[in-house]
Structure 1
């Protein structure tokens, strides 16, 4: 019995010793439950469905909410050919007929099951060199984006074609997984492609939260530049400056795959024209 008490005593000392070795600061870094529930602050939406990203921020005032809802109607509208009374102006060549078709539920588009069906996939194009403002140089006869759809009686600029490069990877636990990398090429152009034309496939990105990104002061973004990876975290970044056709001046790039657009206005205008 005495040995039993001694053993229990030693166990208690061991547990106390272990608890004293723990760093109490570890627990201080755990966010408060309320902070975790309100991860988006006053913009937090309590909706765990596929429509969560389509909800307006709860803290919008009536005027801002009205602007949001009006924009949402336009975002979901399907454009048709002229001379329709509503939403006319589609074509004669295009990629899709609505914003939401490329950004379903305001989120990321999926890779198309049939490559030339209307989807969120598009192909950017350019030729070597830069335009007058340092941006990509449009491909003669094709512009900066290849439209693979056309109205009846018109010819698309080209068709998309996809092949897949398959590979296998072995995970740390020995599991073997098969991967497929899509390679997008162009075929059946309406005219010969210019020499040296470069292409870059893109998938429609999420659009929620862009207003918050536009509201971040430029100085805050520049303060996070780490061009030469001085902090040694393996990540370097440099702000991109682009030409704003509306302001007629160079501005900080914020939107698009390569931060090549400075404002939501220009981003949307470019999508209406090119998509």
Structure 2
């Protein structure tokens, strides 16, 4: 799923200071203490499943790799808003994964891991680059201490990639496949956008239909996750509490805006 639920639900990635940027000290968010710990810190818990700070940091650097590139992923600073945004996406994914298990849907195999891993390897094209990023992000130190071949994914990364594919497939079948934009809805949006329309209705209609479908998908998925969240006990460590309730995803764009 890549940027995954963060992108679909509209949780924006906060501004990221690159390694050689000099942020304004008065305006930047204070950076959390990410120094090594003898005992890992639990930043959130979904029922009995704990999410640790080390896991959150590793996945946040994976998000940066996918969205900002290798240099920022390895050397960029991680501020609290960014960590909280990624933590929210992890919890959303955990909730959906638990629902998949409850429904006893098919687990994914090695071929699904290979699809996700190929996307990471495109960003880390050499074994040396792959291993260096795994070390910098902290993936090397998480999960069972078992030998692995150079270039193969550490356990935590393999688990993330499998779950992303599993959740994406579930969302495709459970949500996306059932989204329909009627001609009446399309016509209403076209009429509301008439004063902003610099192209013919026929030309604007396909793009507008896609925009409406994305807005509907986001609303349906938000409602689905809200329902899952109500059935789970979700707890946060201090400073990792989200600014808004989980899955409170009011659209932040005009669904009738002409792309």
TM-score between the two structures when normalised by the length of structure 2: 0.26
Return the structure number with greater relative CO, CA threshold 8 A, min gap 6. 2
Structure with larger Rg = 1
Q: Name the structure with the higher helix share.
A: 2
Q: Name the structure with the higher strand share.
A: 1
